[in-house]
Amino acid sequence: MTGVVYLVGAGPGDPGLMTRRSLELIAEADVILYDRLIPPNALDGARPDAELRYVGKEPGAAALPQEEINALLVELGRAGRRVVRLKGGDPFVFGRGGEEAEALAAAGVPFEVVPGVTAGVAAPAYAGVPVTHRDAASAVAFVTGHEDPAKGEESSALDWDALARFPGTLVLYMGIRTLPQIAERLVAAGRDPAEPAAVVARGTLPGQRVVTGALRDIAALVADEGVRPPAIALVGPVAELRDTIAWLERRPLHGEVVAVTRARAQASGLAARLQGLGAEVVETPAIRIEPRPLERELRAALARVSDYALVCLTSPNGARLLFAALAETGRDARALAGATVAAIGPGTAAELQRHGVRADVLPERFVAEALVEALASVPVEGRRVLVARAAEARDVLPEALRQRGAEVDDVALYETVAEPLGDDGRAALDRATYVTFTSSSTVRFLIGAGAELPPAARVVSIGPVTSETAREHGLTVDVEAERHDVEGLVTALVADAESRRGALA
């Protein structure tokens, strides 16, 4: 039985630039052979039982020689496996995908090629440099800078005289180590030493760095800046356009490293929002949400759910798990038809909306005390009320309703438990310039686990209750959201970052 080998380009680094086809194949693969420069989290969608093998090449070394990679692809294909050969950038642009395709074709193993966005186009674009421009460059040449120009023409596969005369943009891959010789060789062959040049390191990633200068000076400038691979070098008039159309560095959180401490299952929305604003996000989850089984107390509440005059939900987790519990007992949103439904904030209201329920009561401030105030006009005396929430939540809401004569069923749908941070998490936290806390539990469990925040990191709190917990644990709260939800937290963080930059300008 013969399998199929897919030679897949994973793009230049930004996970958002991976193609839909590449993600589909990763999710279906039996085996994935991956390189060093694939995007972060590129393998997250792989099947739990998929075999993941690193075959990347470090500068000056290889985890597996190319000939052995070729043989392994043939072996796996002949064994009937569905194989993804995952490469950074595009497999046919300095990715040795052509050699692998030749080996597969010679062995009669079926294969497909899935192109990816190549760094030679993407990195300059993220730096604000178009590789072609009607007024500045009508042609572009992609060149490997891996070979050493100092070895002389007889050992070079490149025609340096032709490259010096090339009437357009030169894009050089893998050329940081040999950049002094490349620049010298181009100038010696007739390229204008004053021609604009640029080097883009870690292109498309949050840590992207760009160095610009004249061709004659670019190597010295790169050395002074301590730029390291991976990087793309570019020579041509288009490099001058960076000053006009650079966009990545102008995003409000560019250069910031933001730690997200909320549960991993909830972190993606906040992380995506921060990344869209230019931040490098490190997920350092301090908590994990553990749904409670349908115990007697919860079963009893669900059995009489249609009897409740008021249903209060204090978090998106509570809303999501309430509907999951209803579904488990053969019910849906219609069970709440006769009740007034109250939500503590827009996140909870949005989760209700996803299940077809519009919140009747939504306070202006997103804390329990504000919800108590918002419910003042809702008659509850002598009526049954359901408060569905976390096991460790404060008792402000149920106690206030009981004082007004309500028959309150206070049901815990889930528990918030500690998520061990681990060495990688601590290392990520050490790099943070901002640390975000979205609940008191994220503070308690992170600091309680012995984690130490970087001295220069600024603490961002979602609201006053979380801030109070942070101070109780010895933290200084630098930023507190005025609107006590994720959007409010992001808004406050951005305002603080812009204020700091303005003060430094």
What confidence tier does 294 reach under pLDDT thresholds 50, 70, 90? low
Residue-wise pLDDT for 369-417, tens only, equals 888 999 999 999 999 999 988 887 888 999 999 999 999 998 888 888 8
- Strands of 245-360, DSSP E: 257-260, 280-283, 287-291, 310-313, 340-343
Which sequence spans correspond to the domains of the chain? 4-117, 121-250, 257-286+419-504, 290-417
Question: In the structure, what pLDDT confidence band is assigned to residue 153 with cuts at 50, 70 and 90?
Answer: low
N- to C-terminal Cα distance for the chain?
65
> Which of the residues 35, 90, 410, 485 is marked catalytic?
35
Is 57 among the catalytic positions? Answer: yes
pLDDT band, very low/low/confident/very high, at 150 (cuts 50, 70, 90): low
Q: Which of 80-94, 137-151, 314-328 has the lowest mean pLDDT?
A: 137-151
SS3 category, 305: helix
Give pTM, 2 decimals: 0.78
Sign of CA dihedral 452, 453, 455, 460: negative
Q: Which CATH superfamily is domain 4-117 in?
A: Tetrapyrrole methylase, N-terminal domain (3.40.1010.10)
**Fold exhibited by the domain 121-250:** 3.30.950
Same topology between domain 121-250 and domain 290-417: no
Averaged pLDDT of the chain? 91
Asked if 151 is an active-site residue, the reply is no
What span, in angstroms and rounded, lies between the C-alpha atoms of 269 and 276?
Answer: 11
CATH class of 290-417: alpha beta
User: Rounded to 5 degrees, what are φ and ψ at 218?
Assistant: -60, -40
How many CA atoms lie less than 13 Å away from 277 in the CB half-sphere? 21
| CA 250 to each of CA 163, 335, 496, 504: distance values in angstroms, whole numbers, following the listed order | 33, 50, 16, 15
Q: What is the pLDDT at residue 393?
A: 80
Of 57, 360, 478, 496, the active-site residue reads 57
- CATH architecture of the domain 257-286+419-504 equals 3-Layer(aba) Sandwich (3.40)
